[in-house]
Amino acid sequence: MIIKRIFVLSIFYILSIFGKFNNFYSQNVDSLITVTSGLDLSSEKAHNLLEIATLFEIKSDYLLAIDYSTKSAIAFEEIDDVNGMALAFLAKGISLTRLNKFDNANRSIQNAFDLFVKTNNNFGVAKTQLALSSVYLWDNRSIENNLKAKELLFEASIYFSDNLEYTYLAKAYFNFGLLYDNEGDVVKVLHYYYKAIELYRNTELVEQNNANLNFLAAAYANSGLAYMLAAEYDLAIDYFLKAIDYLPELSNQSNRVIMLNNLSYMYLKLHRWNECLDICYQSMSVATKIDNPFRKIDASLCLGRYHLKHGDLDSAFYFIKAADKLQLIYDNMESDFSLKGEYYLKTGDLDKAEQRFLKIVNGELQSWYQDNLLNAWNGLAQVYKLKKDYVRYIHALEKAKANEDSLYLITHIPPVSLSETKHEQALSLKEKLRHEEAAAVKLKERNFLQYSGALSLIIVLFILMSFTIRMNLPAIVIKGGIFLTVLTLFEFTLVYFDPKIEILTNSEPVLKLLVNVCIAALIFPLHNFIEHKMYASNKKK
């Protein structure tokens, strides 16, 4: 169930549920609040309140999002806009879900569902089914809730598919990934995440807004988590790098820290020390920039883990204590039992090491990493061996072996590199062709404008030449002007027909030269003809 505990999933879901992302959040929300406060009760005010709620939700200010979505629902009710009320209840339910207030979230989304049914708004009904599935998937992750979520997702996905609502269909596939993660079916987890990935990349949804791009990055990140769970670290790195590549700069940067930390852990497991340290510092840089205490904790633990594995105990202790200091402020608990256990084991404080490892095996730690339980049993085995408590030493070894076997059986996935999968190759080829087609259209439009401009310039030059003949300028000036104008026409002709000449001559240099010489041979008779006509026309006048 590790994927469900990763914060990145929920944030991406919230970012994408309304299909929008505002990179000017602070300025927009302040100005929108100011404008809305001066409005009389109207549809515009009700929609503005809902927009403000959405902006607060994007920023993860869920309490304010709930407050403004409630105000929006009241405003919609007073103007008798049932669909507007439903949208406000839906927004409120999504924010309540993020605060783990699942009963209230269920009631709010159910209210939205009833209102959408009342107005025969099938699209709204499908969206509420999708939102309700998230409530069931996050609340009490039981078999019963999974079945409820599955039923809702099937109904919603049928509507989205039939009506070509690809953005929401991709979200439904994403939730299917969460659902099968609850059931421990890693193959189906990857299958549905990749269905979401395919849909976004095939339908160009990722090019429409940042929310869709965030969602695509989340699907890759969660696939990486599945491979990390299966101890396929090289494959996990492929997916995490892909996720970071797709994650927009204007996204919620907390998620970037989470991805970077997971990536650093993979490098650590593979003893790729330099890459691990570089990623840890990137993580700390982003966490410090956004001033998020929980991401600072993660980044500190990332650096502590690196230094501990690298044998630098003083630096490891510094970063562990930095994480603990922040953790005690916000959660009043230790930051990472596993890392602390390893540290005390290496420093010879066996009692403290035993305490930390026991907290893990007794279920007191919600771990980022599935192998923490395995590491804890191995750590306890080392502690008991050093204490010469061989009975508990053997017991810990047996538990570690059983955990290792269980982990392999549950999570083993055939190791196929991301870049080698048929799906990824097909998607990459489609994206390449689509981008090439778009570039070709853009180039054609640009060339048309430039050719039109050049031809217009030549026409203007000919008109100017006809006027200069009447101005009694020196003959050499007039002849030179006419020659330069004709020469410009000649060069334009060469540039315009060059692609066609390339095809005609099959790019053979000798043939191209012959064709260009034939065109050049026309310049002198053309020049004489135009000069003669201009002078003759001037004499008649």
Q: What is the pLDDT of residue 253?
A: 78
Q: What is the pLDDT of residue 426?
A: 60
Q: What is the pLDDT of residue 142?
A: 75
Whether 1 has a pLDDT exceeding 70, the answer reads no
191-247 pLDDT, tens per residue? 888 888 888 776 665 555 556 677 788 888 888 888 887 778 888 898 899 889 888
For 22-36, 212-226, 294-308, which range has the lowest pLDDT when averaged over its residues? 22-36
Q: Which amino acid makes up residue 324? A: D
Once rounded to an integer, what is the mean pLDDT over residues 267-285? 93
Max mean pLDDT range (119-128, 371-380, 395-404, 419-428): 119-128
Whether 172 has a pLDDT exceeding 70, the answer reads yes
* Rounded-to-integer distance, Cα 389 and Cα 406, Å: 26
pLDDT grade for 15, boundaries at 50, 70 and 90: very low
pTM of the model: 0.63
What is the percent of the chain with per-residue pLDDT over 90, rounded to a whole number? 18
DSSP letter string, 57-108: HHTT-HHHHHHHHHHHHHHHHHTT-HHHHHHHHHHHHHHHHHTT-HHHHHHH
pLDDT grade for 252, boundaries at 50, 70 and 90: low
Contacts of 376 by beta carbon, 8 Å cutoff, 6+ apart: 337, 338, 341, 357, 360, 361
> How big, in percent rounded to 5, are the helix, strand and coil portions of the chain?
80, 0, 20
Whether 81 has a pLDDT exceeding 50, the answer reads yes
Q: Mean of the per-residue pLDDT values for the chain? A: 78
Could you give all domains of the chain from N- to C-terminal order, each with its CATH number? 1-184 (1.25.40.10), 426-540 (no CATH)
69-80 pLDDT, tens per residue? 999 899 998 888
Once rounded to an integer, what is the mean pLDDT over residues 10-27? 40
Once rounded to an integer, what is the mean pLDDT over residues 417-430? 55
* Rounded-to-integer distance, Cα 374 and Cα 396, Å: 10
Whether 18 has a pLDDT exceeding 50, the answer reads no
Whether 421 has a pLDDT exceeding 60, the answer reads no
For 12-21, 452-461, 462-471, which range has the lowest pLDDT when averaged over its residues? 12-21
Q: What is the pLDDT of residue 273?
A: 92
* Rounded-to-integer distance, Cα 48 and Cα 45, Å: 5
Q: What is the pLDDT of residue 10?
A: 40
Gyration radius of the chain over CA positions: 33
Q: What is the pLDDT of residue 307?
A: 92
Whether 488 has a pLDDT exceeding 60, the answer reads yes
43-57 pLDDT, tens per residue? 888 888 888 888 787
Helix (H, G, I), strand (E, B) or coil at 421: coil
Once rounded to an integer, what is the mean pLDDT over residues 104-115? 92
176-206 pLDDT, tens per residue? 988 888 887 777 888 888 888 888 776 665 5
Q: What is the pLDDT of residue 17?
A: 37
Angle between helix axes 337-347 and 293-309 (nearest 10 degrees) is 30
Q: What is the pLDDT of residue 432?
A: 66
For 5-19, 209-223, 235-249, 504-518, which range has the lowest pLDDT when averaged over its residues? 5-19
For 37-46, 107-116, 458-467, which range has the lowest pLDDT when averaged over its residues? 458-467
DSSP 21: -
130-156 pLDDT, tens per residue? 999 999 988 866 788 888 999 999 999
Angle between helix axes 43-58 and 25-37 (nearest 10 degrees) is 150
Q: What is the pLDDT of residue 12?
A: 38
309-322 pLDDT, tens per residue? 888 999 989 998 88
Whether 508 has a pLDDT exceeding 50, the answer reads yes
CA 372 to chain centre: 28
Q: What is the pLDDT of residue 274?
A: 93
pLDDT grade for 93, boundaries at 50, 70 and 90: very high
Q: Of the candidates 17, 4, 15, 426, which has an alpha carbon nearest to the alpha carbon of residue 248? A: 15
Contacts of 8 by beta carbon, 8 Å cutoff, 6+ apart: 218, 221, 222, 255, 258, 259
User: CA angle 249-251-257, nearest 5°?
Assistant: 85
Q: What is the pLDDT of residue 20?
A: 38
Once rounded to an integer, what is the mean pLDDT over residues 30-51? 82
Once rounded to an integer, what is the mean pLDDT over residues 258-275? 92
pLDDT grade for 128, boundaries at 50, 70 and 90: very high
Whether 533 has a pLDDT exceeding 70, the answer reads no
